[in-house]
Copies of this chain bind each other. A is one copy, B any other.
């Protein structure tokens, strides 16, 4: 019979999708260029030309049976080696290709990491504000997502609440730095303290507690911001990466799990992931994309526009009286709404063709997310609408 659980999920339409659909519809009426659509986290800069050139070269010159043939379910060995070498060079790690499991984006990476280290009924802790998809990512495996309330001073970690929630039932802690939706980057101090608490609790409970570090925004960090590599602080770390944002390739579904070589069973985990794949129908990312990405591991799209946009918005929002933590990275900013009800606030903003996302489903009430992965020219034009909105409504 049709499974009711998934049927029921159809009722809960995503707020982001509803807003994005409104923006598209409004765009059809007044021209999309006049809708200040801050709803979606879709990169606004093109992939590096070198990626495109390599794809074309592969298509023109590589034997098609090799190019499009089955790759090992762990990923193409040479690609895994190159990912390991790149991470070692950048972060002083000691990965080998055997610690890398290639995935269909960060979603694929987290799906494997969670299944690797938690059984149904186990708890996985994350920190508000958090990416709402963590709910289904975790809960549909049978594990249970627990959310530590936000530290609204700076969107680092509310350690007091965390220590209380870190009971024996917890199999893993899921972090996202740089963070969607706050734009906050966890500091060295935050990472040290997080690792110290987890280490202490591991000893106390006598079992592993894993750190699952979701890092799709790793490459989008603004000037002067301290952005440590989480795996450096804690041996039991599985780093989940996606090239979606760094290379502007979200549709091509490519990322990886990188297993800290000091982790428990470090040499088994990637291979275990390929066993998990047999149940999830994952079976590794597309070969041509693996091969092309492996040649541009140390490149990014031109990400500078995001910092430019952030500075414009942060200045205007604070001048307009918004409480707002300055983002250290990503392409998101999370001001506090000017009334307690963020949904009502965003509804009013729509009258000014300003599309923002209320963050109740991100585990934080009264805040709104602006995704500023749009042209700077449009961000500048949005300021007038923003001023009118605040002046007329508040």
Query: Chain A interface (Cβ within 8 Å of chain B)?
Result: 1-3, 6-7, 9-10, 42-47, 52, 55-56, 59-60, 63-65, 67-71, 103-105, 107-112, 115-119, 133, 136-137, 139-141, 171, 207-208, 244, 248-254, 264-265, 268-269, 271-272, 275-276, 278-289
**Among B47, B67, B133, B283, contact of A108 (Cβ-Cβ < 8 Å):** B283
Contact of A278 with B56 in the complex, beta carbons under 8 Å: no
**What are 16 A-to-B residue pairs whose CB atoms are below 8 Å?**
A1-B117, A1-B208, A2-B116, A2-B117, A2-B269, A6-B272, A42-B65, A42-B69, A55-B55, A56-B59, A68-B249, A68-B250, A104-B281, A136-B275, A139-B279, A286-B286
A272 to B3, CA, bound (A): 9
B115, B139, B279, B286: the one contacting A253 at CB < 8 Å is B286
Best-buried of A47, A60, A108, A280 by chain B (most CB within 10 Å): A280
Q: 9 closest Cβ contacts across the A-B interface?
A: A140-B279, A111-B281, A251-B287, A136-B278, A108-B281, A46-B64, A9-B275, A280-B280, A6-B272
Across the interface, name the chain B residue whose C-beta is closest to A290: B251
Q: A283-B107, A286-B253 are in contact. Are A68 and B47 (CB under 8 A)?
A: yes
Let me know if B68 and A251 touch, CB within 8 A: yes
**Taking A105-B283, A283-B253 as contacts, is the C-beta distance between A278 and B43 under 8 angstroms?**
no
Q: Once bound together, how far apart are the Cα atoms of A9 and B271, in whole Å?
A: 10
Nearest chain B CB to A307 CB, angstrom units: 19
Inside 8 A of A65's CB, which chain B residues have their CB?
A: 42-46, 248
Contacts of A71 in B (CB 8 A): 251
Contact B282 A116 (CB under 8 A): no
Q: Hey, which chain B residues are within 8 Å of A68, CB to CB?
A: 47, 248-252
Residues B272 and A116 in contact, CB atoms below 8 Å apart? no
B282/A104 in contact, CB under 8 A:
yes
Q: Which residues of B contact A46 (CB under 8 A)?
A: 63-65
The smallest beta-carbon distance between A166 and chain B, in angstroms, is: 15
CA distance A43 to B271 in the complex (A): 25
Q: Please tell me if the beta carbons of A103 and B10 are within 8 angstroms of each other in the complex.
A: no
Q: Which residues of B contact A56 (CB under 8 A)?
A: 56, 59-60
- Whether the pair B47, A64 counts as a contact (CB closer than 8 A) is yes
Q: How far is the CB of A119 from chain B (nearest CB, A)?
A: 6
Closest chain B CB from A268 CB (angstroms): 6
**Max count, chain B CB within 10 A of own CB: residue among A67, A244, A264:** A67
Alpha-carbon distance between A283 and B140 when the two chains are bound, in angstroms: 14
